[in-house]
Structure 1
Amino acid sequence: MGQVLGCVQVDQSSLAIKEVFGKYDDVLEPGCHCVPWCFGSRVAGALSLRVKQLDVRCETKTKDNVFVTVVASIQYRALAEKAVDAYYKLSNTRSQIQSYVFDVIRASVPKMELDATFEQKNEIAKAVEEELEKAMSAYGYEIVQTLIVDIEPDEHVKRAMNEINAAARLRVAANEKAEAEKILQIKRAEGDAESKYLAGLGIARQRQAIVDGLRDSVLAFSENVPGTTSKDIMDMVLMTQYFDTMKDIGASSKSNAVFIPHGPGAVQDVASQIRNGLLQGNATQS
């Protein structure tokens, strides 16, 4: 109906190209316009000014001969001030952009190894954007943003990379576990040494206390019982210790069998052995 009356409506964020007898005449902005068809005027087509997105998948190989698929996302739009160029100069904008993306990616990625390709995604995107900006500005298009959204190696390569990563992590875990075991053993050895040291101090103090007790007993007995000799007192002390030991062994439910001379005369033998040992030790030192 609008064409019959010679009125045309142009939507927001769009431009219309007006021709007269097939020749470009004007760019119609959003709103209502009079296009008298009877005088040869017509709307040749519309041009959207909205930002469009084109996803490009490009297969190439890296410097270390690994084939990867690079997925680039190109965001572009037509410029209002260059609407004529954008409408007339390109017949297929998406194919043109795709060709430039292929060219830049296949020139950049083969110079990098696989790990560097993942690390330098921004540099690849920047190179694509600069090349597209130079090429597409002549056709009335602006490159808004270029993103490298994904880099996909071959499935076997991905599996190998995961196995390498897993092996490295296992190696680190094994080292950490060994280090922890080492620290645990060191701490256990230090604790054992400290325990034995303290046990030695306890035994030394115990023996010192026994010696002091025996000395005090001998001195007290000598003072209270005149006429006794040191030998008699030592024999009596050893006899007392002997019976205390036998009593403890008999009272314990978990004690092992101990075969020792159990007659009262055995104390005399024990005392003789102690005296002989002391005499031999003194003779050896002299």
Structure 2
Amino acid sequence: MFTYIFIAIAVLLLLASFFTVKQQSAAVIERFGKFSSTRQSGLQLKIPVIDRVAGRLNLRIQQLDVIIETKTKDNVFVKMKVSVQFKVIQEKVYEAFYKLEYPHDQITSYVFDVVRAEVPKLKLDDVFERKDDIAVAVKRELNEAMTTYGYDIINTLITDIDPDIQVKNAMNRINAADREKTAAEYEAEAGRIRIVAKAKAEAESKRLQGQGIADQRREIARGLVESVDVLNKVGINSQEASALIVVTQHYDTLQAIGADANSNLILLPNSPQAGSDMLNNMVASFTASNQVGESMKRANSTKRLNKPNKKDEFGSIEEDEE
């Protein structure tokens, strides 16, 4: 019976002599309560009863999120979320296990200290723009402090900056107003461009229209001259020819108006004797015009003959020039 008991105790002691350490982990071995060694991943051996596994440390990169409330230079309270990525230095497992009991609390304290020293120097807008500088300052201070305790700070990230809700609403209103101002400026510029383009197009249209009217009148005048020349060749004088052309154009216009069923134009006078009246009036006008012209010529000639001559300083007679 004692043999079985001895064998059972031996088996238990043998099993207690072996232990395993997971990958990316380290085990701290103590002998009679004093540090003995550190063991890395794999199957390890220790002396039963004498040696014991005091603790295990995770060698993988860990992340600690710290939320801090602080005040900016322009007296705006903001909440910042700082993510600290760190790991235990493999060669300093002893320092990480024995020198620091609560590493998370230590890291949090340093983050609070650095952020509350840097952010009050900046205005709210600068906090958003220079958050990377704040993160660098946090990492620098943490590295200097935590390396002594066997921890390596891999990176620090400011993942969130949350101002007070009223400040946030005010910032949104300012941003919206700036965007509306920019939109109004672009719309005004676009309207100005459209107005300028329209004015240029209208000016070009008027220029071409005027040029067309001038060309049209020039051709009409040329046609009238040719018509008068043709009528003169058959014994009709210029006045009669002009009157005949005007009457012909009058009836051509009436014919064009009557051909258009949708025309709203009314030509006055529009009586059957309108053509003959127009012709008589034109002939009378031409006759009166010729008589006035002849009278003015005779008056000028008489005035020139009755005007006395002037003598110059040498006594010679000079004629007045009209």
| 1:198-209 alignment runs, 5 A limit | 198-209=208-219
Q: Give the letter for the 1:230 counterpart.
A: S
Distance 1:134 1:60, change over 3 A: same
Q: Tell me the amino acid that sits aligned with residue 91 of structure 1.
A: E
1:256 to 2:265 alignment: yes
Match of 1:269 in 2: 281
Label 1:197 to 1:274 Cα distance change in 2 as closer, same or farther (>3 A).
farther
Structure 1: runs of 5 or more not aligned:
none
Using structure 2 for the length normalisation, give the TM-score. 0.80
Question: How far 1:270 moved relative to its partner?
Answer: 4.1
**In 2, are the aligned partners of 1:75 and 1:144 still within 8 Å (CA)?**
yes
**AA aligned opposite 1:240:** T
Aligned to 2:30: 19
Partner in structure 1 of residue 239 of structure 2: 231
**Aligned CA distance change for structure 1 residues 5 and 180 (closer, same or farther; 3 Å):** closer
- Name the SS of the counterpart of 1:9 in structure 2: strand
Identify which of 13, 19, 29 aligns with 1:8: 19
Task: Give CA-to-partner distance per residue, 1:100-146, whole Å, 9 cap, x none.
Answer: 00100011011111111111111111000000001101111111111
Bigger Cα Rg = 2
Paired with 1:179 and 1:276, the residues of 2 have a C-alpha distance of 62
Corresponding residue number in structure 1 for 2:197: 187
Alpha-carbon offset, residue 172 of structure 1: 1.0
Amino acid at match of 1:149: T
Structure 1 segment 1-286 matched on structure 2, within 5 A: 5-38=16-49, 40-223=50-233, 225-226=234-235, 228-252=236-260, 253-260=262-269, 262=271, 263=273, 264-270=276-282, 272-273=284-285
**TM-aligned CA deviation for residue 277 of structure 1:** 8.1
| In 1: Cα distance, 2:60 partner to 2:242 partner | 115
| AA in 1 matched with 2:237 | T
What are structure 2's unaligned runs of at least 5 residues? 1-11, 297-321
Letter of the aligned partner of 2:281 in structure 1?
D
Change (3 A) 1:214 1:78: same
Over aligned residues, Cα RMSD in angstroms? 2.4
Q: How many residue pairs align between the two structures?
A: 280
Q: Is the 8 A contact 2:82 2:160 kept in 1?
A: yes
How far did 1:55 drift? 0.7
Higher relative contact order (CA 8 A, sep 6+): 1
Note if contact 2:13-2:48 (Cα within 8 Å) is conserved in structure 1. no
Contact preservation (8 Å) 1:238, 1:271 = no
Higher mean alpha-carbon deviation, 197-206 vs 249-258, is at 249-258
Identity in percent: 42
CA 274–173 in structure 1, closer or farther in 2 if over 3 Å, else same: farther
**Contact 1:242 1:267 survives alignment (8 Å):** no
Contact kept? 1:2, 1:8, Cα under 8 Å: no
Distance in 2 of aligned mates of 1:18 and 1:137: 22
